[in-house]
Chain A
Amino acid sequence: MSMKLLNLLRRRTGSAPVARERLQILLAHERGLRSQPDLLGILREEILAVVSRHVVLDPEKVIVRMDRGDAVSTLEVDIEIPNGFEKRLKVAS
């Protein structure tokens, strides 16, 4: 039996069509992210550079996250600053 024929017989049963739909949507999204050469990485580096000019930071504590919605996406930037940073701020400037 040919592959096409077998697949035709199967097409309308089981959970496989749902799996296919979900994959297609997910991969379209993930491929989009991949094609932007690490946008989040670049944003993170540049944000870190700007803030570090004024405050002493632990680079590990800078978190940049992107959440994609249907209409808008949100960019979340979470920077943990150590207590007493103002002192260091004076030293730095």
Chain B
Amino acid sequence: MAKVLVVTSGKGGVGKTTSTAALGAALAQRGEKVVVVDFDVGLRNLDLIMGAERRVVFDLINVAQGVAKLSQALIRDKRLESLWLLPASQTRDKDALTDEGVRDIIADLRTKFDWIICDSPAGIERGATLAMRYADEAVVVTNPEVSSVRDADRIIGMLDSKTVKAEKGEQLKKHVLITRYDTSRAARGEMLNIDDILEILAVPLLGIIPESQDVLKASNVGSPVTLNNASSMPARAYIDAARRLSGETVDMVVPTEQRRGFMNRLLGRRAA
């Protein structure tokens, strides 16, 4: 059965788009049929991160308004057969996207894909509520830093009240993904502790993605980090997270200092 997953956060710049692309590619690599949907109307970026920016013809709003068919707007990934992108529009009119439009598109996507991953815009306004509206599961992305955790808490409140699933009184499955985890700053106690974040948010952990140059390198060449350098630390953390999303139990690896990299490799191998 198809699963609709929203990647959301409240705060901007925490790693939603990076995570959408990385998780989408990792799931597709496992043989799942995946579409990543950019809900960031007016500020689309997922096409760039996926390396498909020059292939965008039609977008989400064109489909919602009936200007284009869904099949005309979907872009197939050049590296992975089972990975697709539905780009956002660059229009400045955010109201162009309606609740009914999103509902119909998601319903249609459900018949075609195993995973529908919605990359939410920042904020708590219309765009973010539409991105989460029809979700079955949510990945709440947060950085180990106070303002990001506060916004994550707010978003969790919205997931529990503003989604169709919540309104029906059903349980929307939530996961916390801690990204941009800086190992040296963590070692100095300058960043919020992972246990503390989990205790505060009371949502289970999906993964810990280290702060890494590999993320920037991957975005420079337009490739999800899990495809660009699958053995890099962030890629491995995302691949593990994707396995957990598919229901596997995978040991949690806490990224440690670079010079202790061999420890990670040992732990990583045991976990895999």
Q: Contact check, B153 vs A10: say whether CB atoms are below 8 A apart.
A: no
Check: B247 CB closer than 8 A to any chain A CB: no
Shortest beta-carbon distance, B250 to chain A, in Å? 14
Chain A residues near B66: list those with CB within 8 A: none
- The answer to whether B189 and A27 have CB atoms under 8 Å apart is no
Is the C-beta of A20 less than 8 angstroms from some C-beta in chain B?
Answer: yes
Interface positions of A from 1 to 51, Cβ below 8 Å from B: 1, 3-4, 6-7, 10-17, 19-20, 22-24, 26-27, 30-31, 34
Residue B79 at the chain A interface, CB threshold 8 Å:
no
B190 near A15: Cβ-Cβ < 8 Å? yes
Asked if A24 meets B200 with Cβ closer than 8 Å, knowing A1-B263, A3-B254, the reply is yes
| Contact bitstring B185-209, A, C-beta under 8 A = 1, else 0 | 0111111111110001000000000
Residues in chain B near residue A30, CB distance under 8 A: 150, 153-154
B68 within 8 A of A: no
B229 an interface residue at 8 Å Cβ cutoff?
Answer: no
How many residues of chain B have a CB within 8 Å of chain A?
Answer: 23
Question: B254 contacts A10, CB within 8 Å?
Answer: no
Let me know if B189 and A16 touch, CB within 8 A.
yes
Closest to B189 in A: A14
Of A3, A14, A17, A27, which is within 8 A of B252 by CB? A3
28 intermolecular pairs with C-beta atoms under 8 Å apart: A1-B263, A3-B194, A3-B195, A3-B252, A6-B256, A7-B193, A7-B194, A10-B187, A10-B189, A11-B189, A11-B193, A13-B189, A14-B188, A14-B190, A16-B189, A16-B190, A16-B191, A16-B193, A19-B145, A20-B192, A23-B146, A23-B149, A26-B150, A27-B150, A27-B200, A30-B154, A31-B153, A31-B157
A15 CA to B224 CA in the complex, in Å? 34
- Greatest chain B CB density within 10 A among A4, A6, A11, A22 is at A6
Residue of A nearest to B153 (CB): A27
Residues of chain B whose beta carbon lies under 8 Å from any beta carbon of chain A: 145-146, 149-150, 153-154, 157, 186-196, 200, 252, 254, 256, 263
Q: Which of A15, A20, A23 contacts B150 (CB 8 A)?
A: A23
User: Are B193 and A22 touching (Cβ within 8 A)?
Assistant: no
B196 and A20: CB pair below 8 A?
yes
Q: Do B189 and A15 touch across chains, with their CB atoms under 8 A apart?
A: yes
| Chain B residues closer than 8 Å to A7, beta-carbon distance | 193-195
Quote the shortest CB–CB distance from A1 to chain B (angstroms). Answer: 7
A24 to chain B, nearest CB (A): 6
In contact, A19 and B256 (Cβ under 8 angstroms): no
Bound Cα distance from A7 to B192, whole angstroms: 10
Please tell me if the beta carbons of B188 and A13 are within 8 angstroms of each other in the complex: yes
CB nearest neighbor in B for A3:
B254
A26 to B146, CA, bound (A): 10
Q: Which residues of A contact B149 (CB under 8 A)?
A: 23
